[in-house]
Structures are given as C-alpha cells and as structure tokens.
Chains A and B, each alone.
Chain A
C-alpha cells in the first residue's frame, strides 16, 4: 500500500532537496544565459577564428552527455588541473557550460532568422555593429527566442537531477537517501516525480502561451 507517512515524516529533507534543485536551476540558467550570449555573439562575428572557437564550444558540450561532463569536472578535472573542485562548483560549472551551448545555438539561430534587410537598413543610417545588435537585431531576435529558451530552461531544471550523481544534495539525492533508510522507494520517487510535474507543467503551459503570442506579434 501507498504509505504517505514516508513522505510526511521526511518532508524536511525533500524540502531541502527541492530548494537545492531550484537554486541550481536558477544560477545555472543565469550563468548559462550570460555565457551563451557571449558564445552566440562570437559565433555571429565576422572574425573566422572566433566563429570556429564558438562552434567548437557548442559542439563540445552538446555532444558529451551531461552526466559524463559532470563526472569529468568533479572527478577528472581536479587531477588534470591539480586543484580542488568542490561538488557545488563542479555541478555549477558542468550544468552552466552545458546549457550555455544550447542557449548559444538558440541565440545564433534567432539572430540569423532576422531578415538581413534589417541589418542593411540599420547600417545604411550609419549604425555601428553594437548599435545594430542592441537596437534592431536582438530585440527582434529575442521575441523569436523566448519559446526555445523557455523549453531549454525546463529541460535544464530536469537535468539538475544528475547532480545527485556527484553527491550534490538535490531533490533526487534526498529521495534516494530517504529510500535508503525507509526502504520505500515507491512513495519517495513518486513524490519526486509529482513535485517536478507540479512545478514544470505550469511553466510549459506558460511557454506555449508565449509561443502563441510571439507568433501573432510577428
């Protein structure tokens, strides 16, 4: 039978785990956006070596499984670099770099989807590269980028569960900890799934709405 007391008795641990999950979701999305904007912009530059560098970054992080990246940053990187990396930093770096590669691609695609005539028109009135980007191209690109950005951010929240593999006490880690002493994995993992559904379904609906309003604004 489904024993609710397993959950209610350990609600404190689950709550701590959820906070950790949300914390990592927010900070890695934030750092990922900054890094992704940077990588996306260098991919859009006209200086070939920079473009290649940006592409190399994107392909590197997109094509290594996130779990491998996390384990590598936590266990292998400290040996290579000869420094100590805490699990929090390892998790932060791994997740941020990973999501930045996807954000960079979304940005690049968004900017490239803006009609080249817009660049022509902005250039013709004497705007510099920075003015063109800031005033003309990015405002139009961002509108198109909102739905894919929202989608990627939802995936990012789910991906934080991989942190449990490097012993960061996120929601999933706490759940496996609870099930290790209660021997009730059914209740605990069900609770974890439900928590994710409760948080993410409204966000998914919101992003769908944004997609619609974005489409009609065009």
Chain B
C-alpha cells in the first residue's frame, strides 16, 4: 500500500500527479461515450474504475494512452502533454507521432484478453519493448525481463510460448511485459475477466504485490472485493461521467449516488454482514 492512505478525491498536496485528464470527451460516431471526465492520479496511488457495462470505463482507460483518441480534452502524463484538443475540435497543439509513442510508453497496459505476441516466447514478449522501442542492449533487457518474470512467479516458464501457458500465467507475462518499459503508471483493463475463476487469485495477488511496491495504477474491474482491498480511491462512472468517487470504504460501503447504490447492491449485502470486519481492516490500513 502507498505510504499514506488517500481519503480525498483530489490529489494531495506535496505529491506529484503522474496522470492528469481534463474534460475528456469521446464520441463514436453520434454516440457520446465520455462526457467530460476529469481525473488526476498521484504517484503511488491505486485508482479503481467501476461502473456498469457501457459506462465508459474501458474507453476512458484506452484514452489515457491514446488507443482511443478523445474527441476533446487534454491528457498530461508525467508533466508531458500527450494530447490536447479544445472542445470546438480545434487542435491546439498537434503532437508528432514520435512524441506520442515516447510519452505513451510511460504507461503500461494490461488487457482483458492478455494480447501476448503468440510468435514469441514469454521472455521475448517481455524483451520486445525495451529492445525495439527503447533500443536497450539485448543482454541488459534479458536480465531485466528475467527478473520481472521471476517476480511474477514465472521463472519456470520463460522459454514457453503463450499457447503453452494458462490464462493466469499469460496475464502475468503481460504484466511483466508492461512493467519492462518502466512505466510511470500501469493501466489494467479488466485483467481478470477472461480468466477461469481458479486463476483469478494468482493475477490479483501479482497486482497487489505491484501496488505494495508503490506502483501507480489505474484499474478497471468488476471485482469489487478486490477493489476494496487494493484501491486508494474508487471512481464510479455513469453515462460517461464521474458520478461518485472516494476511498473504497466510502464508495463501496456508504454509496450516495442512486445508481451506485444499486450497482454495489450485492456487494453491499454481503458487506453488511462483514462491515465491522471491513471497517476495522480499513482503519488498520490507514495507520
């Protein structure tokens, strides 16, 4: 966990913001997906995005590294402008592709379907970014990759191809691949949704370890229990807007927005029974 528990929805003073989104709008044709989202993430913070399907959480995540190009708004990563376009559609500062690729590689992304490169071994998957994009010497990249794969508990599997690995193993390779670029912020797009239930745990465990190491993370997930455990801040998206946000104990246990109430309903019911336990846990973490 980060050193201090963030209870405020806005970034704390004295901490540098790693990621800042301003009034992000996104349209697919006539369909408005995001309607002006502001989000700032400080160093070491773990932000979990929740919301019903179609609320725009995956689209928002894909906007952060420009896999989706927003219709308007601005994106600043590590104090560098990745994207800026005014609401009238005029492009204030067009950013050259080369710059976009460089700034983009400060984010690491983990996908629902893993998206490992099937023609490369686990090791080659992890080395690809550092060697091809960052032009690191092969041997150095190899050592870093081996270390990362070992950290993910995959030391036995470095020479295997993705098709020889289980879903959980593949996803951990994908995490190592993203980490190899030494990103400032890691983006997770429903990383456990495509996994068999018995494999969910190992991936979550790897992510908790990452959070503990101080990694800044933005996670889209449906696993509310996991959100409760790992998040510093939970952001509830509804109809392309931030409807409610705050620390997990607040958003998940005492929701105010009516749609959030029904969204966390089932979690809430079970949480009611566990509330004394969960709140004790939160208090313990805050110390």
Contacts and interface: CB of A to CB of B under 8 A. Distances in A.
Interface of A: 115, 117-118, 120-129, 131, 135-136, 139-140, 143, 218
B211 to A, nearest CB: 20
- B interface, by DSSP: helix, strand, loop or mixed? mixed
B36 interface: no
A124 B119 contact: no
Interface stretch (B101-109, B149-157, B225-233): B101-109
Interface stretch (B9-17, B22-30, B127-135, B263-271): B127-135
B175 to A, nearest CB: 12
Contacts, number: 63
A37 B107 CA distance: 33
Contacts of A139: 119
B42 to A, nearest CB: 22
A121 B111 contact: yes
A115 B181 CA distance: 23
Contacts of A135: 128, 132
A128 B116 contact: no
Interface string B140-181: 000000000000000000000000000000000010011001
A126 B116 contact: no
A126 B67 CA distance: 11
Contact of A124 (B97, B102, B109, B113): B109
B36 to A, nearest CB: 25
Contacts of A143: 119
B115 A128 contact: no
A123 to B, nearest CB: 6
Interface string B58-98: 00000001010000000000000000000000000000011
Given A126-B105, A127-B101, A128-B98, A121 B115 contact: yes
Contact of B133 (A120, A129, A131): A131
A121 B105 contact: no
Interface of B: 65, 67, 97-98, 101-102, 104-105, 107-109, 111, 113, 115-119, 128-129, 132-134, 174, 177-178, 181
Contacts of A128: 97-98, 101
Contact of A125 (B98, B105, B113): B105
A139 B102 CA distance: 24
Given A128-B98, A136-B117, A139-B119, A120 B104 contact: no
Nearest to A218: B118
Given A125-B181, A127-B129, 19 more contacts: A118-B115, A120-B115, A121-B111, A122-B117, A123-B104, A124-B65, A124-B67, A124-B104, A124-B107, A124-B178, A125-B133, A126-B133, A127-B132, A128-B98, A129-B97, A131-B132, A135-B132, A136-B117, A139-B119
Contacts of B181: 125-126
A118 B162 CA distance: 13
A122 B105 CA distance: 10
B67 A123 contact: yes
Contacts of B108: 124-125
A122 B98 CA distance: 14
A140 B67 contact: no
27 contacts: A115-B113, A117-B115, A118-B115, A120-B111, A120-B115, A121-B111, A121-B115, A121-B116, A121-B177, A122-B117, A123-B65, A124-B104, A124-B108, A124-B109, A125-B105, A125-B108, A125-B129, A125-B177, A126-B102, A126-B105, A126-B181, A127-B101, A128-B98, A135-B128, A135-B132, A140-B118, A143-B119
